[in-house]
Amino acid sequence: MNKILKTISIAAIALTATSCLELDPKEQLAEPNMWNTPEDFQLFANQMYGWTLTYGDIVYDGIMSDKRSDLIQDKGSRNTVSNGTNVIPTGDGYYGANYSRIRRCNMLIEHAAGYSRPDDIAHALGMAHYFRAYCHSELVRMYGDAIIVDHVLDTDDGLLFTKRNDRAEVIKFAIEDLKKAAELLKPFGDIQPGDLCAEAANALLARIALREGTWQKFRNNETDARSFLDEAAKAADKVIASQSFKLFYNAGLGEKSYKYMFLLEDAHQSNPMKLTKKDNTEYIFVRHYDPELYRHNQNLTVECLNNAQIVSRKMAQMYLCQDGLPIEKSKVFQGYDKRISEWMNRDNRMHQQISRPGDAFWGNTAQNCRVDWLGEEADLAHCADPSYNPTSYTRYMNNKWAAEHQVESRYESYDYPIIRYAEVLLTYAEAVYERDGAITDDDLDKSLNLVRLRVNPEMPKLSNDLVNKNGLSMRQEIRRERTVEFYNEGFRLDDLKRWNEAKTEMPKPFLGVKWEGTEYATKGGSNNYPLNADGCIIFEDNRQWETKNDLYPLPIDQLQLNPNLEQNPGWK
């Protein structure tokens, strides 16, 4: 009964009404019997897992969706964030929510300070520091400057009506939180699947330090930039040195290892080799799903398989050819004459993310799912599309995140990767390059090239010699690798912002395939969209982007509660 009452008390705290920083008097939340045992602290900390990103945030038009970028569009209405026409909201449910979560982290941290056996609650305390850092960094990612809140506030606290702290100061505070978290959290080998680990704290530190380091660098603040980039490189290197993770690869899956990594399930056979979640060596921190106990409740396969997610020509042109060169420099690029031409001799991730004409595709219903996973007669008889022929929109359609086994829609149970090892490796490469203005081949081999060669074993490594001989840009090749690897995982728009490239890339027309003079014009059905001067489909034109769009506007309700916040520049 005691445990039930404590659970109810924690739930009540989570539902408490809020003001601008999600504040309520301490006495309303000071449940005296809540902090007596290690189990109390851990129970309180466990609610924080519910704050992590979901498929709704990434695959649909959520806060980090690539649909808000230059790579993916919805087949229906145009995205107001992506085309720069979003307006100041009355409220967004995000600014206040992060401060509510910070408050709960501070509650645990303050109660932990007086606990008599600190080692017994170390992991729960580490979680509070981790998520306090995460919430502060999310406020910076969305809005720029933010108020640092490091204690539980009373209703008369001066922070209620203070100005925002400079964004770099906020990230420095978050970095210190994450260093504490890394010391307190259990290492990966000692946790249960889906739990937070010490390596995840260093991985998040690397992520937010890289984000802020490049933001500052490309806005001419070299001093802060170098410091943050050094933090990012060192934190990523700690994760690498831990040897707790490696990129997911299975010899039986071969070059399809990338595709099936995202689809591993325990309740169903979800891949040809019958691998399950325990075989995934790459995920550092996940949002864990179960078809019965905890469903994501998103129509993933229907959304993602050649349906709602329309991909841009820009994305299709990013994939390297198998000689390690971009299409404009490669001698093995086959051009655009036939529908299959541009897919030939390309990075194998291209057809595992964007649906290649002529390929067979399976779905999640009894009528169109895999039967024996051999890809032969029985499988093909059940195929959703035995020879894919794109006839609508840009003709580039997504297939990432789509299941191939029979499972009721919304019951797919693959985990969402909050942080995976590939990100750590690519963060290391970018942080080292941007910090030093150069990167050695040894550093490329221990990081980026592992990611590139995972499903492209015959592709030449990225090296200084390859860059110099072919007139490439090392920076652009590092960025290309990141864009390709994390396609449709919610990184693209934030990457463009921190590189200060959104103002250049976002206003460009959202294009489709080359239509004029190709097989599409004769065998690709009808086209209702205009063509540009190169004969390519224009799916969306008149996109815009101003410097102000690099940050979201603060919602009106928060400005009314605290006028000292001040609206972000350019928003009126």
- In a domain, residue 341? The reply is no
Reduced to 3 states (helix: H, G, I; strand: E, B; else coil), residue 410 is coil
Residue 204 lies in a domain: no
Are the CB atoms for 518 and 537 separated by under 8 Å?
Answer: no
Q: Which helix (H) or strand (E) holds 485?
A: helix 474-485
Tell me the one-letter amino acid at 550. Answer: D
Answer yes or no: is 216 within a domain.
Answer: no
Whole-number average pLDDT of the chain:
93
Task: Choose among 170, 161, 163: nearest CA to 139.
Answer: 170
Report how far residue 317's alpha carbon sits from residue 511's, in angstroms, rounded to the nearest whole number: 11
Determine the pLDDT at residue 2: 42
| Rounded CA separation 127/183 (Å) | 11
Per-residue confidence (pLDDT) for residue 20, from 0 to 100: 54
Where in 248-390 does DSSP place strands (E)?
Answer: 283-287, 309-311
Q: Which two tokens stand for residue 294?
A: 């905890």
Residue 157: per-residue pLDDT: 92
Using CA atoms, how far residue 46 sits from 49, 105, 109, 243, 297, in Å, is: 6, 11, 14, 27, 21
Task: Tell me what the mean pLDDT of segment 336-354 comes to.
Answer: 98
Side chain identity at residue 225, one-letter code:
A
Q: Which of 267, 243, 264 is nearest to 253 (CA)?
A: 264
Residue 40 lies in a domain: yes
List all residues 6 or more positions away from 276 whose beta carbon is below 8 Å from its beta carbon: 264, 265, 266
Report the distance separating Cα 380 and Cα 373, nearest Å.
10
Looking at per-residue pLDDT, the higher value among 68 and 296 belongs to 68
**Tell me, what amino acid is at 398?**
N
Query: Helices 421-436 and 222-242 sit at what angle, rounded to 10 degrees?
Result: 140
Dihedral angle of Cα 281, 282, 285, 290, to the nearest 10 degrees: -60
Q: Give Dmax over CA atoms of the chain in angstroms.
A: 77
Model confidence at 499, in pLDDT bands (50, 70, 90)?
very high
User: Which tens digits make up the pLDDT trace of 148-158?
Assistant: 999 999 988 99
Instruction: For 213-366, list the strands marked E by DSSP.
Output: 283-287, 309-311
CB-based burial label for 86 (10 Å; 0-12, 13-18, 19+): middle
Helix (H, G, I), strand (E, B) or coil at 291: coil
Q: Domain for residue 63, yes or no?
A: yes
Question: What is the mean predicted confidence (pLDDT) over 467-488?
Answer: 98
Closest CA to 258 of 400, 50, 68, 433: 400
Total domains in the chain come to 1
Element (H or E) spanning 68, and its range?
none
Q: Which tokens sit at 368?
A: 């169109």
Q: How much is the average pLDDT of 209-221?
A: 97
How does pLDDT run across 431-450, given as a tens digit for each residue? Answer: 999 999 999 999 999 999 99
Q: Residue 29: is its pLDDT beyond 80?
A: no
Q: Classify residue 556 by burial, with Cβ atoms within 10 Å: 0-12, 13-18, 19+.
A: middle
> Which domain, by its residues, includes 44?
2-68+92-185
pLDDT of residue 31: 61
To the nearest whole percent, how much of the chain has pLDDT over 70?
A: 94
| Per-residue pLDDT tens over the stretch 191-213 | 998 899 999 999 999 999 999 99
User: Which tens digit of pLDDT belongs to each residue from 391-426?
Assistant: 999 999 999 999 999 999 999 999 999 999 999 999
195 is a domain residue:
no
Residue 32 has pLDDT above 80, yes or no: no
Whether residue 52 lies inside any domain: the answer is yes
CB atoms within 10 A of CB 45: 24
Which CATH number characterizes residue 27's domain? 1.25.40.390
pLDDT at 13 > cutoff 60: no
Structure tokens at 194: 């889906």
pLDDT interval class at 22 (50, 70, 90): low
Per-residue pLDDT averaged across 381-391, rounded? 92
d(CA 209, CA 180): 15
Sign, CA dihedral 84-88-93-95, equals positive
Position 10 scores a pLDDT of 46
CA dihedral (55, 61, 64, 69) positive or negative: positive
pLDDT at 18 over 50: no
Once rounded to an integer, what is the mean pLDDT over residues 501-509? 98
Looking at residue 572, its pLDDT comes to 86
Question: For residue 33, what pLDDT band results from cuts at 50, 70 and 90?
Answer: confident
| Cβ count near 531 (within 10 Å) | 16
Does residue 412 fall inside a structural domain? Answer: no
**CB neighbour burial string for 51-76, b if at least 16 within 10 angstroms, e if fewer:** bbbbbebbbbbebbbbbbbbbbbbee
Which residue, 101, 121, 153, is CA-closest to 34?
A: 121
